[in-house]
Amino acid sequence: MKTDRKIADAVYRNSFGAFCYRAFEIVNPGKKLIHNWHIDTVCYAIEQMVTGEGTKRLVYNQPPRTLKTYICSVCLPAWVLGRNPSARILCASYSEQLAHKFSRDCRALMESGLYERVFPSTRLNPKKTTEAEFETTRRGYRLTASVGGTFTGRGGDILIVDDPTNSIDMDSEAALTGANDWFHNTASNRLDPPQSLVIVAMQRLNQRDLSGILIEKGWPALVLPAIATETQTYVIGKDETYTRPVGELLQPKIDTLQWAQEKQLQIGSRYWAALYQQNPTPVEGNMIKAAWLPRYDFTPAERKFRRTVLSCDPAGKAGARNDYTAITICGFDDKQIYLLHVARGHWTVLQMRDRIRTLANEWSADAALIEDTSSGMGLIQILREEGGLNVIPQHPKGDKKARMSRHEGRFEAGNILLPREAPWLPEFETELLGFPNARHDDQVDALLLFLDWFSQHKRFEAPISIGLPYVGTDSHYIDYNPDRDGPPLVY
């Protein structure tokens, strides 16, 4: 029995992940930590930093309530001081009250019987124990400060910044700038190079938050969204990896897709994209501004549209590491365009065909616009041969940024409406407001395909006679040209 305990204690001393799992019951009495791969990958990355086998700098982003603080602000200082009682650790959070809470949890862990058994050489100095700081008998310490405060002239080997900005300040230029300035001008200057380690752990808030600034500078980043938007492989141990598929929840043993959908509705798509998906959208947008996007509340089935059109931007390959295939459904009346539905995925040609037919039938689409590129030619041919759907090949002219600029006026006028809530809305808004700098633009490209077609067929914005094209005389319309536009679409 003693031999087994000695083996376990040795594992806790050398494996940060094992230590975190075991310590959870001490910090949270009566509870047991449920094993999950994301804990393994975070702990292994941090362990590699501490042992000198990994990078000395790390940004890691993950949603609330996924153990970020427990791992980096409670367990990490305790584990480091256990291995090196002389280590000097600086910890900071946006709130002094929270920072002190994390310090108390860490101290309680270090005063436990388990800790004293695993790390017999590390003991706290009873004469130097406060909420802001505690010290070991070997002069190592964990010193706490709030972001914006100072470390009173003290130096450190490790800097841990845990949520430098409160989520309520996600749009506060003063709060964001203050946190960034404090990190670069105050906290970073307290480190003793060249062996110092820095970890910035936070949920994303804004493209200009501290994580965003550091990632732009080239810092290594470990980003863990609540729901995977692409297949990605993570290192969880020596010679061990975990491949997370698209659509998988970060904590599938705890959370559900229903929870995710309800949370999106509760906090709104923009907060969800930032805090939970770690992919904040621009406050106002880049080319397209958030203020230009009016919302509709009605159920699309309750609304009669002049026409409903599907548009598809097909990807060249179906692999998870390739671009997405994106599909939009738009309905329009005499004045406005309503984005009704968006879908995207890594689909084969036959899967694209099936998805297009399903959505066209579900939304009673009058036409299906397919980008007529090398990847779309086969899809167009299949759909036409099978019949039953008005398939219209589209040839985009110009680059995407130039094409979007032609439609900015329509957005600014508030003539393109989005639903107030929809499961696909956060990812779509991230692309649209981030365009042309967003990571993906497949959904935007599918919408542009429709808008390009719509601009060439504005005759449908005014009353027309059946079988006759509308020829606009107002400069607001583009004249119908049969040589350019092809035969008129008849109601």
Confidence of residue 310 (pLDDT cuts 50, 70, 90): very high
Give the model confidence (pLDDT) of 230-248 as tens digits.
899 999 999 999 999 999 9
pLDDT at 330 over 50: yes
Q: What is the mean pLDDT of the chain?
A: 87
At 488 the pLDDT is 37
At 490 the pLDDT is 30
For residues 166 and 175, give the distance between their C-alpha atoms in angstroms, rounded to a whole number: 9
Domain boundaries, the chain: 2-257, 283-455
Give the model confidence (pLDDT) of 383-416 as tens digits.
999 999 999 999 888 788 888 888 888 898 899 9
For residues 377 and 371, give the distance between their C-alpha atoms in angstroms, rounded to a whole number: 8
Provide, rounded to the nearest whole percent, the portion of the chain with pLDDT above 70: 90
The tally of CA atoms less than 13 A away on the side-chain side of residue 394 is: 29
The residue ranges of DSSP E strands in 50-175, in sequence order, are 57-61, 88-93, 124-129, 133-136, 141-146, 158-162
Confidence of residue 1 (pLDDT cuts 50, 70, 90): low
For residues 206 and 481, give the distance between their C-alpha atoms in angstroms, rounded to a whole number: 46
| Fold annotation for 2-257 | Rossmann fold (3.40.50)
| Fold annotation for 283-455 | Nucleotidyltransferase; domain 5 (3.30.420)
Cα Rg of the chain (Å, integer) = 28
Confidence of residue 193 (pLDDT cuts 50, 70, 90): confident
Looking at residue 354, its amino acid is D
pLDDT at 279 over 80: yes
For residues 418 and 339, give the distance between their C-alpha atoms in angstroms, rounded to a whole number: 5
